[in-house]
Chain A
Amino acid sequence: TGDRTLSRGSILSVAPKWFVRDYMALKEIVFSSYINLMLLCAPLGWASAYFKWGAVATFSLNFLALIPLALILGDITEDLAVRFGDVVGGLINATFGNVVEVMVSLFALFKNLFTVVAASLLGSILSNLLLVMGCSFLLGGMYHSVQTFNAMSNRACSSLLMLACIGISIPSAASMLLVTDPALRADWILDVSRGTAVIMLICYACYLTFQLKTHSELFKGDDDDAVPMMTVGTSIGALTVITAIVAVCSEFLTDSIEEVSAHTGISETFIGLILLPIAGNACEHLTACIVAMRNKMDLSMGVAVGSSIQIALFAIPFAVVVGWATGHDFSLDFSPFSAMVLAVCVIHANFVTADATSHWLLGVQLIALYCVIAVAYFYR
């Protein structure tokens, strides 16, 4: 009923009709950033896939198209979330916040590109935790000598990430160390992965309850004066259309990965771990850095850490469960090096944020760790 009263009000007042306002809002969202120029890559990418311009062209064009799509998706989701209370709005934000990553990983899953799924999700965690957080510490630290953020929410989040990281490592570590018979290994990992996935999803539900209901004051941002720009119908419509476009781009993107890897000599793991997360995280990256420069560190940490938690506790177990339901044997069998890298990164991020203060040197440390890992994967 909210939009009906709004539109009735708009008839009485001088404000334009709802579709005019929606149109103006959409126009503002699309034209607000130069990055959205890359939207032109979407039709080109599709044409490339259709007319077979080559795998590299298809991959690059669709990859570039995903960046503005993720950005617009984020804007519309936030606009929709403002309309509902903290709880439902928070849920919407959480669910659609990483929809690009989830889409890409699901399409890779359906094509049985399990290494790409695993790599892209791990890479997304690493990029959020190290690159995004590092950049926001660095850029924020250039304008402010020392910045502080909420210690308690940070601690709850970082130990949750540690839990997720142990959950992700247990199947790969245990299969190496516990199971001596290689014939039983695959089945064993699958059983353990599915059990682990269910528990991680339960933890994600607990995390949402904690964040949105029982301890919501820890996570509140300070800019609550936002007013929705679009009507519910338009937001949902736009969300559906953009999600569909994202799905098509993801489909073409994952289709071309194998060929790109064969053509360019870049390994599938590197593409999944380092390149793909750039597309999905560009939006979070921008937001986190901008708010860090405005010294809103709670918001910035919320974006960077919250996004990693969503991937670790939701997207990864979700991929396992979807694979379970659709008969794809995707398990949490990461390569031992990846599992170790994830564990070390989460521990390092915990050390860096333990004090609930940040400065530019901490940012440099996080970015450096990310670069070291990227180099290791590049020469793999």
Chain B
Amino acid sequence: MRKSFARRSDTMRRAPPRWWRSDLRAVREIILGNWINLLLLITPVGLAAGYLKWSAGYVFTLNFLSLVPLALVLGDVTEDLALRYGSVIGGLINATFGNIVEIILSIAALLNGLYGVVAASLLGSILSNLLLVMGCSFFFGGLWNKTQRFNATGNQASGSLLFLAALGFLIPTGAGLLFGGGVEHDHEALVLGISRGTAVVLLLCYACYLGFQLYTHTDLFEDNGGHEEIGSDGLPADAEEPMLSLVASVGLLTVITLVVAVASEFLTSSLEEFSKTSGLGEAFLGTIVLPIAGNACEHMTAVIVATKNKMDLSMGVAVGSSIQVALFAVPFAVVVGWATGHPFTLFFDPFSALALMLSVAQANFVTAGATSHWLLGVQLIALYVLISIAYFFK
């Protein structure tokens, strides 16, 4: 990370003659900035595998691997674009594109009619952010720092928002199970109605959350550690300027989003067959494996900043990402299904709803004191492994 900042400033100082040349250099920096981007070489192979209809195992694995660097590059370009605007619009752009891979993946599965996979991948994404990403950042942060602190108010607001979202998912499932006993058709209509109503309410809450985070209470979410780090490199804090021109970043975003969409399409359409040939259940693939692709980027960032003792930033990535998925991606999938005639509901299988509920409760207990140490990290990771075991043997 430090290296990329240094390079970025070199680019700025040299004052390049043409916008396209500086853009080219910036793209090169983004791509060469991380070893994981070597996996980009897999992308064309994965797309070819999808078009030429290779066996499901290849299509799934190759497209899965190619999504990891795409999510990373997408994150970099988004951040660059966000720098161009103030903290409000920039924050909005960051929030919207931050989980674009998860969202595209879930919409692709939704349009393929794989409702179970949509639900599993979104729930799995919340669990992985909340337990695995946060657990790893507590654990690795705790190895370098004995006790770490983070902002209590921001954490409390986020924690109870997540709890609200978990309750929102539990209500349609619980109502479907407990109100049941009527006519089958009425029952489906009931769950669909509740889900769509819930989705609208959750989207409103998401809007309020963005208003809170970007407008009324911005000071709670500011990462005061971020600028000091650059300062230690001997550069002023405001050296963070956009590297890409507006056209280039919008163009790049469009192109990468399209590639992500195609790769997601191949990934989800090969999932059923891959599940049969590999013997791994669809629930396990959706809940545990798919979220890895979308979350790898957040995972790395959160752990790296945690080891540098910037816990507010680390928590922001882990918890913020779970909130986006819970309050935006999930209800968004319901609404998209509504608009396109796919009856996707929030009727999750009861175990998943229970697992989510308990995980959110546990995460709230763990973060209640606004301090962290390595044992808390172990607890979160262990819970994630426990849930994975249950899905693995399903």
A and B, one complex? Answer: yes
Instruction: Answer yes or no: B207 CB below 8 A from chain A CBs.
Output: no
Asked if A156 is an interface residue, CB under 8 A from chain B, the answer is yes
Question: A171-196 interface mask toward B, CB cutoff 8 Å, 1 = contact, 0 = none?
Answer: 10110011100000000100110011
Cβ B368 vs Cβ A199 within 8 A: no
When chains A and B are docked, how far (Å) is the Cα of A159 from the Cα of B390?
A: 21
Q: Is A328 an interface residue (CB 8 A)?
A: no
Q: Which A residues are in CB contact (< 8 Å) with B362?
A: 159, 162-163, 166
Instruction: List the B residue with the shortest CB-CB distance to A158.
Output: B365
Q: Given the interface contacts A170-B387, A178-B351, A179-B394, does A215 sit within 8 Å of B375 by beta carbon?
A: yes
Segment at the interface with B among A43-51, A71-79, A93-101, A206-214: A206-214
Q: Interface residues of A toward B: which range?
A: 35 or more
* Beta-carbon contacts under 8 Å, A131-172 to B: 151-152, 155-156, 158-160, 162-163, 166-167, 169-171
Nearest-Cβ distance from residue A52 to partner chain B, whole angstroms: 46
Is there contact, CB below 8 Å, between B369 and A166? no
- Proximity bits, B336-371, A CB within 8 Å = 1, else 0: 000000000000011100110011011001101101
The answer, yes or no, to whether A357 is at the interface (CB within 8 Å) is no
- Interface size counted on chain B using CB atoms at 8 A: 32
The reply to whether A166 and B365 form a contact with Cβ atoms under 8 Å apart is no
Contact of B365 among A159, A173, A178, A202 (CB under 8 A): A159
> Chain B residues with Cβ under 8 A from A266's Cβ?
none
Min Cβ gap B30→A in Å is 38
**In the bound complex, what is the Cα–Cα distance between A210 and B147 (angstroms)?**
12
Confirm or deny: B374 has a beta carbon within 8 angstroms of a beta carbon on chain A. Answer: yes
- Do B376 and A196 touch across chains, with their CB atoms under 8 A apart? no
Report how far A188 CA is from B386 CA in the complex, Å.
14
Whether B74 is near chain A, meaning CB under 8 Å from some CB there, is no
Give Cα A348 to B126, complex, Å: 25
Q: Min CB distance, A210 to chain B, in Å?
A: 4
Contact of A210 among B369, B374, B386 (CB under 8 A): B374
What is the bound-complex CA distance between A237 and B350, given in angstroms? 53
* Contact digits for B376-394, partner A, Cβ 8 Å, 1 yes 0 no: 1011001101110110011
Q: Distance in Å from the Cβ of A149 to the closest Cβ of chain B?
A: 13
CA distance A179 to B387 in the complex (A): 15
Are A192 and B393 in contact (CB-based, < 8 A)?
yes
Are the C-beta atoms of B379 and A173 separated by less than 8 Å?
A: no
CB of B351 within 8 A of CB of A174, answer yes
Complex CA–CA separation, A196 to B350 (angstroms): 20
Chain B interface SS verdict (over half):
helix
Q: Contacts A191-B393, A192-B389, A206-B378 hold; do A354 and B349 have CB atoms under 8 A apart?
A: no
Most chain A beta carbons < 10 A, residue from B349, B379, B386: B386
Question: Which residue of B is nearest A178, CB measured?
Answer: B351
Given A156-B376, A162-B361, A347-B361, A192 contacting B390 (CB threshold 8 A): yes
- Known contacts A163-B379, A215-B375, A178 near B390 by CB under 8 Å: yes
User: Using Cβ atoms and an 8 Å threshold, which residues of chain B touch A207?
Assistant: 375
A234 at the interface (CB under 8 A from B): no
**Neighbouring B residues of A203 by C-beta, 8 Å:** 378-379, 382
Q: Are B382 and A163 in contact (CB under 8 A)?
A: yes
A350 within 8 A of B: yes
What is the CB-to-nearest-CB distance from A195 to chain B, in angstroms, rounded to a whole number?
4
B299 at the interface (CB under 8 A from A): no
| Known A178-B349, A214-B374: A159·B393 in contact at CB below 8 Å | no
B14 interface residue per 8 A CB criterion = no
Q: Is the CB of A195 within 8 A of B376?
A: no
Inter-subunit contact B382/A159 (CB<8 Å):
no
Q: Known interface pairs A159-B376, A214-B374. Does A151 touch B382 (Cβ–Cβ under 8 Å)?
A: no
User: A313: nearest residue on chain B (CB-CB)?
Assistant: B382
A155 touches B369 (CB 8 A): yes
Assess whether B146 is in contact with A166, with CB atoms less than 8 Å apart: no
Shortest distance from the beta carbon of A56 to any chain B beta carbon, whole Å: 41
B351→A167 contact, CB < 8 A: no
In the A-B complex, list the 9 residue pairs whose CB atoms are closest, starting with the nearest.
A177-B351, A210-B375, A195-B389, A177-B350, A159-B365, A174-B390, A206-B378, A159-B366, A178-B351
| CB<8 Å pairs between A and B, sample of 14 | A155-B369, A159-B362, A159-B365, A159-B366, A163-B382, A166-B359, A170-B355, A170-B387, A174-B394, A177-B350, A200-B382, A214-B146, A347-B361, A350-B365
Q: Contacts A159-B366, A166-B358, A195-B393 given; 6 further ones with Cβ under 8 A? A: A162-B362, A163-B383, A170-B355, A174-B351, A199-B385, A206-B375
List residues of chain A with CB under 8 Å of any chain B CB: 151-152, 155-156, 158-160, 162-163, 166-167, 169-171, 173-174, 177-179, 188, 191-192, 195-196, 199-200, 202-203, 206-207, 210, 214-215, 343, 347, 350, 354
